[in-house]
Amino acid sequence: MQAPIQAPSVPQQADPPKPEPQAAPPAPAVPEQEPAAAPTAPDTQAEPEAPPGPPVEGIDVSNHNGDIDWKQVAADGKKFTFVLATDGTSFTNPRYGEQYHGAKDAGLIAGAYHFARPGSSSAEEQAERFLDTADYQADGRTLPPVLDLEVDPKAGGCYGLSVDQMQQWTKTFNEKVKERTGKDAIIYANPSFWRECMGSSDAFGNHALWLASYDVDNPSVPNGFGDWDFWQYTSKGKVAGINTNTDLNKYKEGLARLERLAR
């Protein structure tokens, strides 16, 4: 017997394959941002150097000059003064305050000086006493403190110290001035002292030099310094407002640079 012929079966269609879920496209990468830079300060240019000018006239005084009419001194064309504050280990100018502030009140630029006696005590002790008296103020009218170096007024020579000891004493004194005022001390000296007691050292060439040299047209600058900044050229000057002979000085670079030095 033949098998019965069956109607062809309609093939069942399979459900269409479901599309496989696709991963969401990756989010576009956000470029890594640099941390915001701190705002930069505008470029600042260094203040240009003041132009040199004609020499400026000034004086230096101590208790020996007595009463001073500073308004007359200013009217006589003097622009600056140095005032003795202290000497060695014990002497203090009893007129320091009136001379120093009187000069400033009259419009002069003023600075204090210490007469050094290196054989009497340490540089630290003399510097501290000097600075306590001088009362340096960064007021735009004050010159850097001065270290006055001269031969021993009692015995001559270098206070019984060697050249190396004198150099170290001076270095220590100046370091104390820098520490307390932020300024390099002005050094007062004459060529023979610098040669004999300081060995013509060039270790202090960055300090302003106040040179003592009388009765010459062009003073000799001690070895170790490029040039003089202040020049004490006579001890017999006549100045309005002062009854005694007075030391006269010049500042070489002009008023604008003198004012810059007093900042």
CA atoms within 13 A on the CB side of 145: 30
Query: Rounded CA gap, 205 and 199, in Å?
Result: 13
Contact call for residues 222 and 194 (beta carbons, < 8 A): yes
- Looking at residue 67, its amino acid is D
Catalytic residues: 60, 148, 150
**DSSP sequence for 148-185:** E----TTT-TTTT--HHHHHHHHHHHHHHHHHHHSSPP
Contact call for residues 221 and 191 (beta carbons, < 8 A): yes
- Looking at residue 100, its amino acid is Y
Both tokens of 141, joined, read 């009218």
Query: Rounded CA gap, 186 and 5, in Å?
Result: 132
Both tokens of 125, joined, read 């002790």
| Beta-bridge partners for 223 | none
Helix (H, G, I), strand (E, B) or coil at 102: helix
With both helix axes pointing from N to C terminus, report the angle between 191-198 and 163-181 in degrees, rounded to the nearest 10.
110
Dihedral sign computed on CA atoms, order 150, 88, 70, 210: positive
Both tokens of 53, joined, read 């000018």
Helix (H, G, I), strand (E, B) or coil at 195: helix
